Chain A
């Protein structure tokens, strides 16, 4: 039962353009969402998070949007840089019932110079 889904296994964009990574979830109890970036042979690195009481959170080049009615969130990276090339994981949790994160399968982002 995949409760967090990233339907695009890969995404390729040109340097300087916007990267949009998408994530859908099925469990309406999820109320906190995170994005992680992962390089090969390394652990995931926390990027940005959003609580369900918000619909947008911005941190530098990274913005996360949450659409609760659609059970959908997205990560926007603008402008994209070659160093952003990595696998991006969406994760969700239910804050009141503990700390376990449920991850999506990941999207490989490639930013071409």
Chain B
């Protein structure tokens, strides 16, 4: 039973480019969460999605960031016009129900040149 799969593991972008981060939840999990970890800090919640629905996006920056979890395929976190401050580790987690512990992927480390 594969765990939460995130790709790419490392992503390098230049300022102004777009970054797309992908997350495939564990089999049987329909709840997906995205967190961001800046250096020397804890994980910060960004967004919570179920299939085709955004349930809670209260942690998402108002501009340039968007997330989706389509009926088919992985969840995508999209960052447009990246800036240096977007450099961080982005973690995806999934759970089978909203009240079950979240299981995390190994993250995507985004570096902005």
Contacts and interface: CB of A to CB of B under 8 A. Distances in A.
Interface of A: 4, 6, 34, 36, 41-46, 49, 89, 91, 95, 98-106
B50 to A, nearest CB: 10
B101 A100 contact: no
Interface residues of B, number: 28
Contacts of B106: 41-43
The 4 closest A-B pairs by CB, nearest first: A43-B104, A103-B42, A100-B45, A103-B43
B80 to A, nearest CB: 23
A95 B95 CA distance: 14
Interface in B39-67: 40-45, 48, 55-56, 58-59
A29 to B, nearest CB: 15
Contacts of B44: 103
A79 to B, nearest CB: 25
A41 B44 CA distance: 17
A90 to B, nearest CB: 9
8 contacts: A42-B106, A44-B104, A89-B43, A98-B56, A99-B33, A100-B33, A100-B48, A100-B58
B104 A45 contact: yes
A7 to B, nearest CB: 13
A73 B53 CA distance: 34
A74 B42 CA distance: 17
Contact of B31 (A6, A36, A99): A99
B23 to A, nearest CB: 11
A43 B37 CA distance: 11
A99 B101 contact: no
Contacts of B99: 95, 99
Contacts of A98: 48, 55-56, 98
B101 to A, nearest CB: 5
B95 A99 contact: yes
A103 B37 CA distance: 10
